[in-house]
Structures are given as C-alpha cells and as structure tokens.
Amino acid sequence: MIKKVLQSNFKILANKKIGRDYFKLTFVSPEISAAACPGQFVEVRVPDCDGLLLRRPIGVHSVSSKSCNILVEIVGPATRALSHKAAGEYLDIIGPLGNGFSFQLSAIPAAGGSAFGGSFQPIIVAGGMGVAPLYFLAERIKQQKPLVLIGARTKSQILCEKEFKKLGCSVKIVTDDGSCGSRGRVTDLLKKILSENSGLKAQSYIYACGPKPMLKAVSRISQDHGIPAQISLEEHMSCGIGACLGCVVKTTTGFQRVCKEGPVFNSREIIWEGL
C-alpha cells in the first residue's frame, strides 16, 4: 500500500450542498483518485480563514477516473470556509494518506478461525459522518452485498442512504429520536442482528466508522460475537503525514499514529479504556 503521496493545488469541479450542514466537494486529481483506497484521507488546507493554520483531514468519500469526492460536515469556521469554495477555484490538498480498510478476501483473517468458504457477509456500521469513507468501501465490495447500518441523532443527519441502496446494499437506519428508521442506537441494532442470526456470525466481518463511543461499543460487540472488526478512527491532526506524533492512539503495541498506521485499525489492537 506504500504509494507516493501528492501535494498540489487541485481544481474544484463541483461543490454541492447537501442539506443544511453538509457538502460534497469534488476536485480533479486523476493521481489521487487512482491511488486512494477506502479509509484513506486527504489533508485540505483551508484558505481565507483568519488565524486557522492547520490542514483538515477528510476521508475520501468516492472517486471517479479523474476526480475525487470528499463529504464534509460544517462544524466550525474552517469547514464553513471550505463550503463556500466554488467550482473553478483551487485547493491545496495532500493525499492520499494513511492506511485504509483491508477488504480483499485474501487479506481478511477467517472469522472465528474457520475459512469463509466462498460466502462472506460484510457488515458496515456507520455513525453520522462515518458514512463518508464507508461508502467508498461499499463501492469496492458491492459484489459481497454488504449489510449497511447507519445511525445518527436525527433524520437530517442520515446521509448516503440512497447511494448505498443503489450499490445493492441492504440498508438499515437508526436514529436516536426515531425520526428516521427505528429508534435507538446503531450498535444496539448490530447486537440484535448478530444475536438473531447466528448463521450470519460465522461469515461476518465488521467495518465501522463514527464517533469514538460508537466504535468502542462496536469493538465490544464484535469481540462478544467473535467477529473481526476494522474501525476507522477520527483524530485531530497537525501534520497528517506522521511527523508531529500528535494524533496517537494507545494500542496493544504502544502508541500508534492515527494518520500513519491508521486511521483504520483492527478493533482488537486498540486500548479502549479511557477513549
């Protein structure tokens, strides 16, 4: 997976608002789109934003042959400034960065110690913005018909439902307030599905991205059911290229950099206490 990382000014092809708080930004880069793997991210320099220095790490959402999409939530002045960038303008972007999801069947350890025997059920668990990199993954593994569980606080925060369905995924929605799909937490749904389908367990494999408490719960559930899980961590980063050692997470082998060894980790590597 070691490929050259690029830094350049890339032309914005489109910047489409999605609801009030989200936008999908498309930039032209045949190089990044060819090299990027699901779970990898780019570091975007945000121009015209007084006093904000650091780049923003944003997961690759999808790629076409020439361009690359990122899905962004407006959470502060930097992402707001980014939401105002228009087609034709340029952005200083570094990427693709980090280690993404392992999804080649050959690369995945057999669940519960037994071989998959040809059939394999990926379960994608997304919390809020966690859908962004997981959609890219779903594109790459659509032949395996992933089961997609999306959770968020409320309906307006449920993203990409249609897009996942278009890929042929079976999608289940959960919201905290019940305004879309069933009421509750996505991790409760995961637990329920696994408990009710014991046949599913033996061939399942979990991919998750979302807030830390959710990932912690996913990790526990995957362990309880003996299913492997890869989780993508989000962390504040200063450099994104492994130099500053600012974004470390505690693992069974000591601190590891989320930007370099991650952002995707095997859930069992992570020391979840305190996270």
- Interface residue list for other proteins (CB under 8 A): 4-7, 45, 51-55, 92, 94, 235-250, 254-255
Phi, psi dihedral angles at 141 (to 5 degrees): -120, 25
Residue 113 or 254 having the CB closest to other proteins: 254
DSSP 251-268: ETTEEEETTTT-BEEEGG
How many other C-beta atoms are found inside a 10 Å radius of the C-beta of residue 245? 12
Residue 43 or 73 having the CB closest to other proteins: 43
Query: Cα(1)–Cα(51) distance, rounded to whole angstroms?
Result: 35
Query: Cα(61)–Cα(73) distance, rounded to whole angstroms?
Result: 12
Residue 3 or 17 having the CB closest to other proteins: 3
Hey, is 196 helix, strand or coil? Answer: helix
- Residue the block writes with tokens 């046949």: 199
Give the nearest distance from C-beta 259 to other proteins in angstroms: 10
Nearest residue to 58 via CA among 155, 161, 130, 163: 130
Give the nearest distance from C-beta 4 to other proteins in angstroms: 5
Give the nearest distance from C-beta 158 to other proteins in angstroms: 25
Give the nearest distance from C-beta 235 to other proteins in angstroms: 8
Residue 18 or 243 having the CB closest to other proteins: 243
Beta strand 6-18 pairing with 90-97: antiparallel
Give the nearest distance from C-beta 63 to other proteins in angstroms: 20
Query: Cα(3)–Cα(233) distance, rounded to whole angstroms?
Result: 21
Give the nearest distance from C-beta 12 to other proteins in angstroms: 19
As to burial, measured by CB atoms within 10 angstroms (0-12 exposed, 13-18 middle, 19+ buried), residue 21 is middle
Residue 110 or 244 having the CB closest to other proteins: 244
Residue 206 or 270 having the CB closest to other proteins: 270
